[in-house]
Chains A and B, each alone.
Chain A
């Protein structure tokens, strides 16, 4: 847990990001915490609108103009990166030690640049290497992600969706960052392509010194990569657990219901849905934010639950307070 622990690569505490809107501040990310170890993958699991993409933006400081509040502590290899000014952050963190595969990455490639040049570009900008050298590095990255090297000279429209996604992953890895944030990396892809991309990510995790933060709403495929799982609900983390305990039986009532909603191919288990809707982040309810939909709600739930440690699993729920 503590930042002086050598095994912790990235430690996030109380990260908060609010946006100003006409109706008032939206509490998109509210006191988010989790740790990421070396060569580890943490899955941030949540439904749309729970603030998981805003979390990625907050970590990489890719902020829009309407930020109302942005604070908290983020330690990357023991160094507090929230305290850095923009120039320091740009030179030392963004795409140098922490990079992003954005949502719909396959459609975010530049249509008028060859994909090889795009993959080489972060090397040229951040490490100041010559274009020829950067292209050699790009070619190496292509091999890692399983794109034929002669695709360096192609344009994005000449590649299939799966290949484009691999190129986007190569681009995030070319500067050898310690952390790569994957924002829904496979949501627009077909089943076979999706499984192929996860094979690639698994291999990269083994071969390279890289940790992943995988942001997704898809519980079934998230288990392909997860070492640990953090569940997000209405801007907050409600459970952080190791993958084995989580996929066997999660603790938080929301996590349990989410797990029960997954249709399974190999088990004949009728999926169940969660009634109601997540609260508005403009005016989230006081106390537990899930309480309105929770079947196990009791009087205590009107107070904000603390984060409780249950055998190494952190869960934000009064059920586990004794």
Chain B
């Protein structure tokens, strides 16, 4: 798994992000365990995908990496600095090294700023005071995201752009400070099918050109194989499977990964002729997750007296790391 050629950029060790629930505003009423023990390393220039359904904790994980939440327990190390302990100037410096591509491009762009102002904002915050220098960098980045000629766009406001163009602006803003890591949270889920591929290819092109490390967060397994090297599957706050992408789509190990794949359609008229085999039930509450393996109440391959009792270890099977007792 570990690529010794590359150094670790981001290292996450036993990360827990819990949100406290309060009764009537002050009494303690438990925790929402959004991220519960996640460990992984991300290398320079590597792309990983985090796949999971809504409420599995993937957004909380991302926000903690961005420094928007504090870890409850565990550590996030970025180039040997502990992200959880950064503050003030150091935090700003850290944030300039990571770019963030939001899910909803229209919601992510200030409606009262034109494109030029939107793209200048990170430069202003990071102390680039020379307007000519700022304009040079804005034009350069617009070329990178293929919004050319730049003069056609610089004075437009977000509502004058199509969804695909808005997402290009969001990407341009994320890379204008030449970050080492870009976190993309469902960057194409709000876009049309034909534009979706265009944006993913743009991101991949930028990733290859600048050797960016990318964390691609998605619920759509079908886009993953065209975009990432490794895939992490998350369920109820845990990473249940880590695997290289081709190996995962050909040979999924964890029963939840199998279920996700079974639920994903490819365009094929025969789909209409058969029902899909799916696990029943719904993802558990993160306040009181099930004991043992969190997937056990829905799992078709549950082993009685084991899965509901003991939390599965991360076991290795054919180059995958799987948190499932089946592979013991």
A248 to B270 Cα, complex, angstroms? 10
* A265, CB-defined interface residue at 8 Å: yes
Given A223-B269, A265-B249, A199 contacting B278 (CB threshold 8 A): yes
Asked if residues A190 and B219 are in contact (CB atoms below 8 Å), the reply is yes
* B259, CB-defined interface residue at 8 Å: yes
The stretch of A10-18, A98-106, A214-222 that contacts the partner chain:
A214-222
Partner of B269 from A191, A199, A246, A265 at Cβ < 8 Å? A246
* A257, CB-defined interface residue at 8 Å: yes
Given A190-B54, A226-B269, A263-B222, A273 contacting B194 (CB threshold 8 A): yes
Give the chain A neighbours of B220 by CB distance below 8 A. Answer: 191, 263
Asked if residues A265 and B264 are in contact (CB atoms below 8 Å), the reply is yes
Give the chain B neighbours of A217 by CB distance below 8 A. Answer: 192-193
* B112, CB-defined interface residue at 8 Å: no
A244 to B269 Cα, complex, angstroms? 5
Q: How far is the CB of A213 from chain B (nearest CB, A)?
A: 15
Q: How far is the CB of B196 from chain A (nearest CB, A)?
A: 7
Contact-residue size bin, chain B (C-beta under 8 Å from the other chain) = 35 or more
Please, which residue of chain B has its CB at the minimum distance from the CB of A243? Answer: B269
How many residues in A have their beta carbons less than 8 Å from beta carbons of B?
49
Asked if residues A261 and B193 are in contact (CB atoms below 8 Å), the reply is yes
Partner of A191 from B225, B264, B268 at Cβ < 8 Å? B264
* A198, CB-defined interface residue at 8 Å: yes
Q: How far is the CB of A36 from chain B (nearest CB, A)?
A: 15
* B271, CB-defined interface residue at 8 Å: yes
Given A191-B53, A223-B268, A257-B194, A160 contacting B278 (CB threshold 8 A): no
* B263, CB-defined interface residue at 8 Å: yes
* B198, CB-defined interface residue at 8 Å: yes
Within 8 A of B (CB), among A47-75: 47-48
A226 to B193 Cα, complex, angstroms? 18
* A302, CB-defined interface residue at 8 Å: no
Please, which residue of chain A has its CB at the minimum distance from the CB of B56? Answer: A190
Q: How far is the CB of B145 from chain A (nearest CB, A)?
A: 15
Asked if residues B193 and A265 are in contact (CB atoms below 8 Å), the reply is no
Total A-B pairs in contact (CB under 8 Å)?
Answer: 123
* B287, CB-defined interface residue at 8 Å: no
* A264, CB-defined interface residue at 8 Å: yes
Give the chain B neighbours of A221 by CB distance below 8 A. Answer: 265
A272 to B193 Cα, complex, angstroms? 10
Interface centre among A41, A221, A248 (most CB of B within 10 A): A221
* A227, CB-defined interface residue at 8 Å: yes
Within 8 A of B (CB), among A250-295: 257-259, 261-268, 270-274, 277
Interface string of B148-165 (1 = CB under 8 A from A): 000000000000001110
Give the chain B neighbours of A257 by CB distance below 8 A. Answer: 194
Overall SS of chain B's interface: helix
Give the chain B neighbours of A274 by CB distance below 8 A. Answer: 194
Partner of A265 from B195, B197, B201, B225 at Cβ < 8 Å? B225
* B267, CB-defined interface residue at 8 Å: yes
* B282, CB-defined interface residue at 8 Å: yes
Give the chain B neighbours of A47 by CB distance below 8 A. Answer: 192-194
Q: How far is the CB of B309 from chain A (nearest CB, A)?
A: 25
Partner of A198 from B162, B268, B276 at Cβ < 8 Å? B276
* B179, CB-defined interface residue at 8 Å: no
Asked if residues B272 and A224 are in contact (CB atoms below 8 Å), the reply is yes
* B74, CB-defined interface residue at 8 Å: no
Asked if residues B162 and A195 are in contact (CB atoms below 8 Å), the reply is no
Give the chain B neighbours of A267 by CB distance below 8 A. Answer: 266
* B261, CB-defined interface residue at 8 Å: yes
Give the chain A neighbours of B54 by CB distance below 8 A. Answer: 190
Q: How far is the CB of B214 from chain A (nearest CB, A)?
A: 17
A257 to B259 Cα, complex, angstroms? 30
Give the chain B neighbours of A320 by CB distance below 8 A. Answer: none
* B260, CB-defined interface residue at 8 Å: yes
* B221, CB-defined interface residue at 8 Å: yes
Asked if residues A199 and B264 are in contact (CB atoms below 8 Å), the reply is no
Q: How far is the CB of A166 from chain B (nearest CB, A)?
A: 12
Give the chain A neighbours of B279 by CB distance below 8 A. Answer: 192
Q: How far is the CB of B291 from chain A (nearest CB, A)?
A: 22
Given A191-B220, A271-B226, A262 contacting B275 (CB threshold 8 A): no
A265 to B258 Cα, complex, angstroms? 12
Asked if residues B272 and A202 are in contact (CB atoms below 8 Å), the reply is yes
* A130, CB-defined interface residue at 8 Å: no
* B223, CB-defined interface residue at 8 Å: yes
Interface string of B277-321 (1 = CB under 8 A from A): 011001000000000000000000000000000000000000000
A244 to B267 Cα, complex, angstroms? 10
Q: How far is the CB of A127 from chain B (nearest CB, A)?
A: 32
Asked if residues A268 and B282 are in contact (CB atoms below 8 Å), the reply is no
Within 8 A of A (CB), among B172-196: 192-196
Residue pairs across A and B with Cβ atoms less than 8 A apart, 14 shown, are A191-B221, A191-B260, A193-B53, A194-B263, A199-B278, A220-B267, A223-B267, A223-B271, A224-B276, A226-B269, A262-B193, A265-B266, A273-B197, A277-B164
